[in-house]
Structure 1
Amino acid sequence: MNLVSLKVDRADHVAEVTLLGPGKGNAMGPDFWRELPEVFDALDADPDVRAVVLTGSGAHFSYGLDLPAMMPSWGGMLGGDSLAGPRTRFLDEIRKLQGAVSAVARCRKPVIAAVSGWCIGGGLDVIAAADVRLASAEATFSLREVKVAIVADLGSLQRLAGIIGEGHLRELAFTGKDITAERAERIGLVNDVLPDQAAVLAAARELAADIAANPPLVVQGSKDVLNHVREQQVADGLRYVAAWNSAFLPSKDLGEAVQAFLERRPPSFSGE
């Protein structure tokens, strides 16, 4: 593949997928959303790959959705007086992004996320679709969508309840607050916290090697069984939130959030 936003390395039955950006902090723009499902579908089909490590280049896993890069294609879909046509196109766009994240979950090879630095919004959606999450001590996590007047619609609200529990999920979703790696481990978002970026990547590689040493069809079968009920429920929740956002996302508050982001100032929300 001729990839722009991701790099894939393979060795000893383990594939390592690294987020490259090109947005600052590995922000997720159009290239990322196009390439993520291509990469994970290819890894799923590759009989030589038995486990996957997913990590970010540079100091951070991902700043999340690259709003400046995505908004030009969304502008005509999000006008306050948009009718059925633009909103249907936006519904299709949401479903496309959801499908990209779900490619990580439906990949039959176990996926271990190695997280350093910031993991915000879309970054959290992606690691929620992984099987195991490890973090370095300075890692920071945030379900940030509420801060930009968006209902999180790419899987965090559906997948994290089974990972961290309803109470913790609702707190993160309603506040958009940042949490440390220490708290992420305490609530079960990550399995382990390592001292630094090098250590977390080494631990993820070691775990992937342990998985790859086991009978591959049995490991894949275990993932399939574990995902069976959860992913059915996730799919239903994703359909609902996609319909909700295509109907209600266009708002003055969303416009204010984007403008405040571009102007680097705090937003002032009106509830309109």
Structure 2
Amino acid sequence: MQDAITAIERFRKLVIATIHGARLGLGINIVTACDIRYCSKDAFFSVKEVDMSITADLGTLQRLPGIVGFGNTMEMWLTARRFSGEEAKELGLVSQVFRSREELKEGVRTITDGIGGKPPLAVVGTKSVLIKNRDLSVEQGLEYVATWSSSMLLSDDLTQAILAQKHKRKPTYAKL
């Protein structure tokens, strides 16, 4: 199961979670493996493993501190309390809370359309660099991003972006 959850995080393309209703245990594991998270106002969360006499072992203990901080993670896990979508936003677990499931769908569709219009290699590169940087020093991270960026110069995306801005048109990027 660990590999299945980690596969979400390692998936080459951007993974966005839309959350409405309950996210408990396994649901939290999946959500923390996603790149961006949004929820509706009715969403609520609870990390229940400790109440079930187990230590979570699918990656949340490894990912959640980087998302909401060590102290918040410790408190969530040890209390197993239920918290709202609004609190999830305050903690940084989700980026935005929408008023309803329908507004969540529409809002995330607008967001994904915007991201989808960006250079695919830049989106994939940003995800890769951010994930890799969690395990690197600043110096190592800079070396990694320099290598990544130099390889991106081989694509036509930069030229497309510059020409599109110059001619006030939408760029045409190659598919990944």
TM-score tier, shorter chain, comes to 0.7 to 0.9
Aligned counterpart for 2:4 among listed residues 100, 104, 124: 100
Residues 109-151 of structure 1: per-residue CA shift (max 9 Å, x gap): 1111110000111101001010111110010001111111110
Amino acid at match of 1:159: R
Residues 204-250 of structure 1: per-residue CA shift (max 9 Å, x gap): 22111111101101110111101113378xxxxxxxxxxxxxxxxxx
TM-score with structure 1 setting the length: 0.49
Amino acid at match of 1:107: F
Aligned equivalents of 1:225 and 1:162: distance in 2? 15
Aligned equivalents of 1:162 and 1:212: distance in 2? 26
SS at match of 2:102: helix
Amino acid at match of 2:40: S
Amino acid at match of 1:152: A
Residue in 1 that maps onto 2:45: 141
CA RMSD, aligned part only?
A: 1.2
Amino acid at match of 1:130: C
Aligned equivalents of 2:57 and 2:29: distance in 1? 9
Residue 170 of structure 1: how far off its partner (Å): 0.3
Residue in 2 that maps onto 1:166: 70
Aligned equivalents of 1:168 and 1:197: distance in 2? 27
Residues 36-77 of structure 1: per-residue CA shift (max 9 Å, x gap): xxxxxxxxxxxxxxxxxxxxxxxxxxxxxxxxxxxxxxxxxx
Residue in 1 that maps onto 2:141: none
SS at match of 1:160: helix
Aligned counterpart for 2:55 among listed residues 151, 168, 171: 151
Aligned equivalents of 2:34 and 2:134: distance in 1? 13
* Runs of 4+ more than 4 Å apart: none
Pair 187,179 (structure 1): closer, same or farther in 2 beyond 3 Å: same
Aligned equivalents of 2:135 and 2:119: distance in 1? 24
Residue in 2 that maps onto 1:243: none
2:99 is equivalent to residue 195 of structure 1: yes
Which structure 1 residue ranges, 5 or more long, are not aligned?
1-96, 233-272
Which structure 2 residue ranges, 5 or more long, are not aligned?
137-176
Across the two proteins, how many residue pairs are aligned to each other?
A: 136
Residue in 1 that maps onto 2:83: 179
SS at match of 2:18: strand
State percent identity of aligned pairs.
39
Aligned counterpart for 1:125 among listed residues 22, 26, 29: 29
TM-score with structure 2 setting the length: 0.74
